[in-house]
Structure 1
Amino acid sequence: MEGGAELTWNHDPQPGAWVPRRGKVRDIYDLGDRIVLVASDRISAFDWVLPTEIPDKGRVLTGLSAFWFERLGVAHHLISTEVDQIGLELPEEVLEYLMGRVMVVKPARVVPFECVVRGYLAGSAWKEYLETQRVCGVPLRPGLLECAKLDEPIFTPATKAEVGHDQNVPFLVMANAIGSELALKLRTESLRLYRQAAEYALTRGLILADTKFEWGMNRETGELMLIDEVLTPDSSRYWAADRYHPGHPQPSFDKQYVRDWLLATNWDRESPPPELPDEVVRRTRDKYIQAYEQLTGRVFPWT
Structure 2
Amino acid sequence: MTEAGSGDAPAGGPRRESEAAESFEAHRRHLVGLAYRMLGSVAEAEDAVQDTYLRWHRTDRAGVENAKAFLSRIVTRLCLDRLRSAQARRETYVGPWLPEPVLDADTLAAETASDYAADLSVGLMLALERLSPLERAAFLLHDVFDVGFSEIATLLERNEAACRQLAARARNHVRTARPRFAVPPEVGSTIVAAFAQAVQSADTAALARLLAADAVLHSDGGGKKSAALNPIVGRDRIARFFAGVATKFPDVLAAQRTATINGLPGLLVTESDGSLQTMAFEIVGAEITAIYFVRNPDKLAHLAARLQ
Indicate the TM-score class for this superposition, using the shorter chain for normalisation: under 0.3
More strand, by proportion: 1
More helix, by proportion: 2
User: Normalising by structure 2, what TM-score?
Assistant: 0.23
Bigger CA radius of gyration: 2
